[in-house]
Amino acid sequence: MAYPPLILASTAAALGYEVTIFFTFYGLQILKKNLNLEVSPTANPAMPMNMGGMDFGWMPDMVRSLPGMTKFATGMMKGLTKQHGVASIEELRDLCIEADVRMIACQMTVDLFGFKTSDLIDGLEYAGAATYFEVGGEADINLFI
């Protein structure tokens, strides 16, 4: 999910912390210029949750995998965040950029998934996993989500 790293990073930056986020594998989706993020209700350990008064926990995986359920769950999540005044993924990402959050895209994963730098937002750094440990090893706080 895209919310946790962006909420924590934007909050930490607003509090004056120096913040770095290392994006790898599916986290790279957050860095795409054209966001098309979805909430998948199938095999998603976070789905047994209440969204807009609907508890998805009772729903068998077979029902969750029906055509249209991903769009339904995505729409529910977007509606729920808007209803509660939570910023969108785009807004949170923009807040992080404005607050000079250092964003590093894992070069190995960029290559593995066939992304082009033109697919991703401007201002990123590209580095390997060793950079994550270099930055994390010097940090006072290090979170892996």
Q: What is the CATH number of the domain that holds 97?
A: 3.40.1260.10
CB within 8 Å of 55: residues ≥ 6 apart: 48, 49
Which domain covers residue 107, as residue numbers? 2-138
Question: Can you give the pLDDT at residue 86?
Answer: 83
Question: Can you give the pLDDT at residue 84?
Answer: 80
CA distances from 101 to 33, 58, 68 (A): 17, 39, 36
Sites in the chain below the pLDDT cut of 50: none
Question: Can you give the pLDDT at residue 35?
Answer: 83
Specify which residues 50 forms β-bridges with. 55
Question: Can you give the pLDDT at residue 144?
Answer: 82
120 backbone dihedrals φ, ψ, rounded to 5°: -105, 160
Q: How many domains does the chain have?
A: 1
The CB density around residue 101, as the number of other CB atoms within 10 Å, is 21
Q: Is residue 29 part of a domain?
A: yes
Question: Can you give the pLDDT at residue 110?
Answer: 98
Question: Can you give the pLDDT at residue 32?
Answer: 95
Q: Is residue 143 part of a domain?
A: no
Terminal CA-to-CA distance of the chain, rounded, Å?
Answer: 9
Would you list the DSSP string of 24-67? -GGGGGGGBSS-------TT-TT-SSEETTEEGGGS-HHHHTST
Question: Can you give the pLDDT at residue 67?
Answer: 72
pTM for the whole thing?
0.79
Q: Is residue 145 part of a domain?
A: no
Q: Is residue 41 part of a domain?
A: yes
Q: Is residue 144 part of a domain?
A: no
